[in-house]
């Protein structure tokens, strides 16, 4: 992938030389060219802005500067090439190499005959993980870093002859200029290019990749400052671990970004995880009636009640578990499985 950035502060883009992006440059996966907008400015002061038409505060960046700049970049101007900030180790096989994982690029990429021009602006369309996934397939992305009150809108109207133009926002707030947003978008996009991360699953399980936030993470030691990591993570049961992670993802999304759930594709199990509560049901059953816990657990699951413990002492049957059913229905569900019972109740715990 080729990235070109047009800015009045070229040094602002130096962070792209570091860490995994620097390594991607070193490996030839990524190339970055930075262009000083003032190279196209004229006059003693190399001015790039002027007062807005119609009056008002601030200054607007000139079209007669931006137009030629974008023309030249589209035509192949190299700019100042960024190299990696430091040499990286390339003698150690990475996860995907060791396990022979084939590249799994995302779908996306538009008319590759035209570069993609991204214009960071608070007035743009919100940047999302889906955008990052799609744009990770691009061959050439150009960033136009605005300052002051922005860039004359005619620049982008004209640029459509040479680019696919997208005005994009990284959040509902205003920055001094577009350079910080470029760093955000560039990192979000390039980390998804096959080969940039050593483990493909690292980004496939990210927050937003499936429309949800990622759940909490833990590492060794199992107990730190008296706080224990969840026992399921050291159980060795991979199915339980995955179920727990999915549940935590759903719960965090509901707590922090509930609007995401409206767009996410949720299974019946997902809905259960979100809606179920911990409950205890007790029934008075005939003393001679014996309950087969395994069969009862299976029947209750079909009814929407997932039992974790079933115990009987004399004529009292106790069922502990989770359900999204109202308490009265939960009691009836247990009673229907038992067949006959004298009385019962379900309480939330």
Question: 36, 39, 149, 210: which one is catalytic?
Answer: 149
- Picking from 341, 291, 101, the residue whose alpha carbon sits closest to that of residue 204 is 101
Q: Detail the DSSP E strand segments found in 140-265.
A: 140-144, 164-169, 223-224, 227-228
Residue found under tokens 């413990």: 309
Question: 122, 246, 252, 332: which one is catalytic?
Answer: 122
Question: 39, 72, 158, 206: which one is catalytic?
Answer: 206
**192 is annotated as contributing to ligand binding:** no
R_g of the chain computed on alpha carbons: 29
**Which is it for strands 140-144 and 116-126: parallel, antiparallel or unpaired?**
parallel
Q: Is 206 a catalytic residue?
A: yes
Q: Is 191 a catalytic residue?
A: yes
**175 is annotated as contributing to ligand binding:** yes
Question: 137, 191, 245, 297: which one is catalytic?
Answer: 191
Q: Is the peptide bond before 161 cis (omega within 30 degrees of 0)?
A: no
**172 is annotated as contributing to ligand binding:** yes
Residue found under tokens 């696919």: 164
**170 is annotated as contributing to ligand binding:** yes
Q: Which residues contact 305 (CB under 8 A, 6 or more apart)?
A: 281, 319, 321, 322, 323, 325, 330, 333, 334
**173 is annotated as contributing to ligand binding:** yes
- Picking from 170, 178, 127, 186, the residue whose alpha carbon sits closest to that of residue 149 is 178
Element (H, E) at 71: helix 63-74
Phi, psi of 246 (to 5 degrees): -65, -45
In sequence order, the β-bridge partners of residue 61 are: 49, 151
Determine contact, residues 309/321, Cβ cutoff 8 Å.
yes
**146 is annotated as contributing to ligand binding:** yes
> Which positions make up the binding site for S-adenosyl-L-methionine?
146, 170-175
- Catalytic residue positions? 122, 149, 191, 206
Binding residues: 146, 170-175
């Amino acid at each position: 992938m080729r990235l070109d950035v047009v800015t009045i502060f070229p040094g602002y883009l130096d962070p792209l030389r570091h860490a995994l992006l620097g390594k991607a440059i070193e490996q030839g996966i990524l190339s970055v060219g930075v262009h000083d907008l003032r190279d196209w400015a004229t006059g003693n002061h190399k001015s790039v802005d002027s007062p807005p038409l119609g009056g008002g505060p601030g200054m607007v960046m000139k079209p007669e500067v931006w137009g030629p700049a974008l023309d030249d970049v589209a035509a192949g101007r190299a700019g100042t090439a960024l190299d990696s900030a430091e040499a990286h180790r390339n003698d150690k096989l990475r996860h995907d190499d060791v396990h022979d994982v084939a590249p799994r690029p995302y779908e996306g990429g538009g008319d590759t005959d035209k570069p993609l021009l991204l214009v960071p602006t608070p007035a743009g369309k919100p940047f999302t993980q889906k955008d990052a996934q799609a744009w990770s397939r691009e061959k050439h992305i150009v960033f136009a870093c605005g300052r002051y009150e922005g860039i004359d809108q005619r620049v982008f109207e004209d640029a459509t002859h040479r680019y696919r133009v997208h005005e994009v926002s990284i959040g509902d707030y205003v920055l001094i200029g577009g350079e910080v947003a470029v760093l955000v978008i560039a990192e979000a996009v390039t980390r998804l290019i096959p080969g940039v991360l050593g483990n493909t699953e690292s980004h496939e399980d990210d927050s937003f990749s499936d429309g949800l936030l990622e759940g909490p993470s833990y590492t060794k030691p199992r107990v730190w400052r008296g706080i224990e990591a969840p026992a399921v993570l050291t159980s060795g049961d991979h199915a339980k671990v995955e179920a727990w992670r999915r549940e935590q993802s759903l719960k965090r999304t509901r707590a922090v970004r509930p609007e995401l759930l409206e767009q996410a594709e949720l299974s019946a199990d997902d809905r259960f995880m979100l809606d179920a509560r911990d409950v205890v049901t007790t029934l008075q059953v005939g003393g001679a009636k014996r309950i087969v816990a395994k069969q009862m657990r299976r029947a209750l699951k079909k009814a929407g009640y997932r039992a974790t413990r079933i115990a009987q002492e004399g004529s009292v049957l106790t069922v502990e578990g989770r359900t999204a059913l109202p308490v009265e229905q939960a009691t009836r569900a247990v009673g229907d499985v038992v067949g006959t019972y004298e009385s019962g109740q379900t309480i939330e715990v």
